[in-house]
Amino acid sequence: MQALIDIVLPADQLEGTSAVLSKWLINVGEEVKQGDPIIELETDKVAMEICANQDGVLAEIMMHEGDDVPVEGVLGRLSESGAVIQESDLAQTVAPEQEEVSYADEETYQRSASKLVGPAVRRLLRQHSLDLSQIQGTGRYGRVTLCDVKAHLATLGEIAPQSVSQKRVTKSPLTRHDHDARPLVGEMKPHTSMRKSIAKHMTESLLHTSPHVTSVFEMDMTNIIEHRKWHKKEFAELGVNLTYTAYFLSACVKALQAVPEVNARFHEEGLELFKDINIGVGTALANDGLVVPVVQQVQEMNLFEIAYGLNQQTEKARTGKLQPSDMKNGTFTISNHGVSGSLLAAPIIINQPQVAILGIGKLDKRVVVKEVDGVDTMVIKPMCYVSLSMDHRALDAHQTNRFLQVFVDAIQDWG
C-alpha cells in the first residue's frame, strides 16, 4: 500500500461560508499536475475550484457529489507522481466500507462497484422512492451519480402526463372544460447553495433585521457621458474598461464622506462608522444567482484606479474565479439594476450588516424642464432614477436625502 497525500479544503478558502462538493473534475486513476483543478465546490456565495497541490494520480475519492464539505476535511487522496495504483488500492478507494470483501474476478468487482453511491444520491433515492437498478449510471464502473438521478427524475417528469391521462377523472356537474380538471405537471429544479443563501439572506434582511425605507432622486447623466466619451479610448489603451459604474463608485466616496453614518454598521449599543470605504457591486451571474465583489479602500483611488479595480472584480465574478475573500469587508453596496432594463427597484434589499444600498436605474432619454436664459424650456436629457434603501434603525430621511443629493451633484457636476 503506497503513501497517499490528502486533498483537503483549507480553512481560509471558505472564510466562514459552507460548501457542497458539486463535481469531481477527474476520475480515479487519472494523472494531474500541480495547480490543475480537480474538484468543483459550490459555496453559499461562489463556485470555486480546488487544485492539486502537487503532481500525482487521483487514488481515492472520499467525498461525493452533493456532500457537505467540512473545513480541513479530506476530500480525496493523491498518490505520488509516477506511482502506479494497485488494483487492491483502487478497491479501497472506491469502496472503503467494503475493504474486507474479496472479488473473485474483475467482472464481479465492477458489478459490485457499480452499486456504490454517495450519501447525496442515497438521500435522493429515498426521497423519491427510486430503484437504483432502474437508473443508468455514468460514473466509474457504471456508478450512479447525483446527475444521473436528477436526469432520471426529469425523465419521469416528462412521461407523467401520460400516466395521469390514463387515470379516470370523475367530473362534477359544474366542470365546464376538460382542462379545468387536468393536474399540473412540472419539473423540480433543485436550488443551488448560492440560491438558498440568497433566499435566506434577503428574507433575514427585510423581514427580521432592518425596517427598509427607500428615497428616490432623478439624475442627469450628461456630463459623465461626455467625460467617458473623451476618456474611454485612453483607458482602453491601458487595458481598462471605463464603465459608468466606476463614476458611481467615485461619487459614492464623496457622498459617504459627507454622510459617514451611511458607511456604517448598526449595533444595539451604537452605530459603528468605518474609515475605509469598501464598495460592493452586485453582479448577476445569469440564472446562477448574484454575487457582490468588493472594491476595497475606494477613498484612496482616482477614477482610473477605481475602474481597474472594478474590472478585476467583475471579471473574476463572470469567469467563476471569485474567492470568498473577494466579498469580505464591504461597507456599502451598489445595485446597478438598470443594466438589465429596470427603471426603478424599491426597496433594494440591504446587504447585511450594512445600513444602506444604492440603486441605479436604466439610463433613459427623457423630456425634462430646464431653465434656459431665464425661461423654462423642455429639453431632452439622458436621465436615470437613483435610490437609496436604508435601515431606518440607523438612518433617517435627513441623512438619506443628504447622501443622494451629494451623490447626484457629484455626477451632474462632473468636469
Residue 300 confidence (pLDDT): 96
Residue 2 confidence (pLDDT): 61
**Stretch 248-271: mean pLDDT:** 96
**Stretch 275-293: mean pLDDT:** 88
Q: Is 287 exposed, middle or buried (0-12, 13-18, 19+ CB in 10 A)?
A: exposed
Residue 110 confidence (pLDDT): 55
Residue 287 confidence (pLDDT): 72
Strand, helix or coil at 293?
Answer: coil
Domains, in order of start, for the chain: 1-102 (2.40.50.100), 105-164+181-190 (4.10.320.10), 193-412 (3.30.559.10)
Question: pTM (2 decimals)?
Answer: 0.61
Catalytic residue among 128, 191, 267, 392: 392
* Helices H / strands E in the chain, number of each: 10, 18
Per-residue confidence band for 172, with pLDDT thresholds at 50, 70 and 90: very low
Indicate the average pLDDT of the chain.
81
Q: Which residue has the higher pLDDT, 252 or 138?
A: 252
The C-alpha atoms of residue 320 and residue 316 are separated, in whole angstroms, by 6
Residue 192 confidence (pLDDT): 76
Cα-Cα-Cα-Cα dihedral sign, residues 15, 20, 22, 25: positive
Residue 109 confidence (pLDDT): 46
**Residue 137: CB partners within 8 Å, gap ≥ 6?**
114, 143, 144, 145, 148
Q: Which residue has the higher pLDDT, 210 or 295?
A: 295
**Stretch 85-92: mean pLDDT:** 44
Per-residue confidence band for 97, with pLDDT thresholds at 50, 70 and 90: very low
pLDDT tens across 30-58, in order?
Answer: 888 887 888 888 776 666 778 888 888 99
Q: Are 280 and 358 in contact (CB under 8 A)?
A: no
Is pLDDT above 90 for 366?
Answer: yes
Is pLDDT above 90 for 16?
Answer: no
Q: Which residue has the higher pLDDT, 175 or 271?
A: 271
Is pLDDT above 80 for 389?
Answer: yes
Per-residue confidence band for 155, with pLDDT thresholds at 50, 70 and 90: confident
**Per mean pLDDT, which range of 60-74, 172-186, 193-207, 338-352 is the poorest?**
172-186
Catalytic residue list contains 392: yes
Catalytic residue list contains 180: no
**Stretch 330-343: mean pLDDT:** 93
Catalytic residue among 396, 398, 409, 413: 396
**Stretch 150-160: mean pLDDT:** 68
Range list of H helices, 72-137: 87-94, 106-113, 119-127
Residues paired with 377 in a beta bridge: 370
Per-residue confidence band for 21, with pLDDT thresholds at 50, 70 and 90: confident
Closest CA to 68 of 115, 20, 136, 18: 20
Q: How far is CA 215 from the centre of its chain?
A: 27
Residues in the chain: 415
Q: Which residue has the higher pLDDT, 370 or 125?
A: 370
Per-residue confidence band for 302, with pLDDT thresholds at 50, 70 and 90: very high
Residue 188 confidence (pLDDT): 83
